[in-house]
Amino acid sequence: MPEKTTGDKPGERVAKVMARAGIASRRAAEAMIAAGRVSVNGAAISSPALNVSLRDKITVDGQPLPGRARTRLFRYHKPRGLVTTHSDPQGRPTIFAKLPKRLPRLISVGRLDLNSEGLLLLTNDGGLARALELPSTGWERRYRVRALGRVTQNALDGLKRGVAVAGVRYGPIEAALDREQGANVWLTVSLREGKNREVRRVLEHLGLKVNRLIRIAYGPFELGDLEDGTVAEVETDELRKRLGPELAAQAGADFTGPLEAEERTRSPRHSGARPQGREAGIQKQARDPRLDSGSPLRGSRNDSKKRRRRPDRAGGPRPARPRPH
């Protein structure tokens, strides 16, 4: 008889344990459970309201849960034209298909939409991803925005009180008018909620049409001079310092574990399919020493050829990272 497990026993919720093992975000883990893909001690479960301990044996799609790896965080300069997902039903290119092959399995901290670019944080720890996404964490997201139209600083200052758009209430937003460029304006926008398409919708409410949106900071982590399409790891000591003891405890971060989880080559994916092709290569490749040094790695494009900068839509060369004027 399999060992029984109840929701009242000490331990942690099974979806939380799955998230910390890097299987998926907690929400996606709960969906896996509801789909009957998760078993505990040999018995399939259908509810995430279940506590498990270290003695319990968890399997997903018949494969054992990989042993937990050290909590890691990466800065990624997302280009325009990629969706922030592992697979896209419309067949659009995804960020995870463009990441370097030697990275561990990662999930994103929040999202940037198809036409947005800039800093995207990636982690192997679902618990950390969830903690950093929560509005209660209070981390500021800062953007450089180019928009078609005209606006006054006085109108932008009104956003500090929050605003309701189409029945959705948005919290306080700090926005500064940096300069005018032809028919466009450049703004710096800071917010702490990060609701879906928040910047675009709020500025549209002011009569502006956003045509370029670049995230330059997420909490204490900045885009800096990270080039388009590259990724760099945040060193463990810096990550521990930036999170602080309270947030690290809330996320359940582990800074002492091995870099790679046990049985990672057997771990399931979001889709439930076993890794094949390029994804299998990511898991089997030796770790690149540049990841320990924080040096950036390029994606899967042909990096032996010098890439030409895309032209800016307003004309002229496209800057690597627009700066306030």
Q: Could you write out the DSSP letters of every residue in 12-60?
A: EEHHHHHHHTTSS-HHHHHHHHHTT-EEETTEE---S--EE-TTS-EEE
Q: Helices (H) and strands (E) in the chain — how many of each? A: 9, 18
Reduced to 3 states (helix: H, G, I; strand: E, B; else coil), residue 224 is coil
Among residues 88, 113, 178, 288, the one annotated as catalytic is 113
Residue length of the chain: 325
Per-residue model confidence as pLDDT tens digits over 32-91: 999 999 999 999 999 998 999 878 899 999 988 877 789 999 999 999 999 998 888 898
Q: Tell me the average pLDDT across 191-207.
A: 93
Distance of alpha carbon 248 from alpha carbon 73, whole angstroms: 12
Q: Are 163 and 205 in contact (CB under 8 A)?
A: yes
Residues 186 and 82 reside in one and the same domain: yes
At 181, which CATH number? Answer: 3.30.2350.10
Residues 214 and 86 reside in one and the same domain: yes
Q: Using alpha carbons only, what angle is made at residue 194 by residues 189 and 195, rounded to the nearest 5 degrees?
A: 120
Residues 199 and 122 reside in one and the same domain: yes
User: What tokens were used for 81?
Assistant: 């034209």
Residues 156 and 196 reside in one and the same domain: yes
One-letter identity of residue 168: V
Cross-strand pairs, 74: 122, 233
Per-residue model confidence as pLDDT tens digits over 240-273: 999 999 999 999 899 988 887 654 333 333 333 3
Residues 171 and 270 reside in one and the same domain: no
User: What tokens were used for 212?
Assistant: 């370029």
Tell whether 177 is covered by a domain: yes
Where is the domain boundary, 222, 248, 277? 222
**Percent helix, strand and coil across the chain, each rounded to 5?**
25, 25, 50
Nearest to 130 by CA among 271, 252, 256: 252
Tell whether 231 is covered by a domain: no
Q: Which domain holds residue 140?
A: 73-222
Where is the domain boundary, 175, 195, 222? 222
Total domain count, the chain: 2
Number of other CB atoms surrounding residue 97 within 10 Å? 17
Residues 31 and 90 reside in one and the same domain: no
Tell whether 252 is covered by a domain: no
Residues 163 and 188 reside in one and the same domain: yes
Which of 88-97, 123-132, 205-214, 284-293 has the weakest average pLDDT? Answer: 284-293
pTM of the model: 0.71
Residues 20 and 161 reside in one and the same domain: no
The rounded Cα 19 to chain-centroid distance in angstroms is: 14
Residues 159 and 111 reside in one and the same domain: yes
Residues 64 and 88 reside in one and the same domain: no
Residues 58 and 87 reside in one and the same domain: no
The values of phi and psi at residue 179, to 5°, are -170, 165
Q: Are 29 and 77 in contact (CB under 8 A)?
A: no
Catalytic residue list contains 113 = yes
pLDDT for residue 238: 97
Distance of alpha carbon 21 from alpha carbon 322, whole angstroms: 37
Where is the domain boundary, 222, 253, 271? 222
Tell whether 242 is covered by a domain: no
Tell whether 207 is covered by a domain: yes
Distance of alpha carbon 57 from alpha carbon 2, whole angstroms: 10
At 22, which CATH number? Answer: 3.10.290.10
Residues 17 and 146 reside in one and the same domain: no
Q: Are 22 and 66 in contact (CB under 8 A)?
A: yes
Which band of pLDDT confidence, cut at 50, 70 and 90, is reported for residue 278?
very low
pLDDT for residue 12: 82
Of residues 28 and 304, which shows the higher confidence score? 28
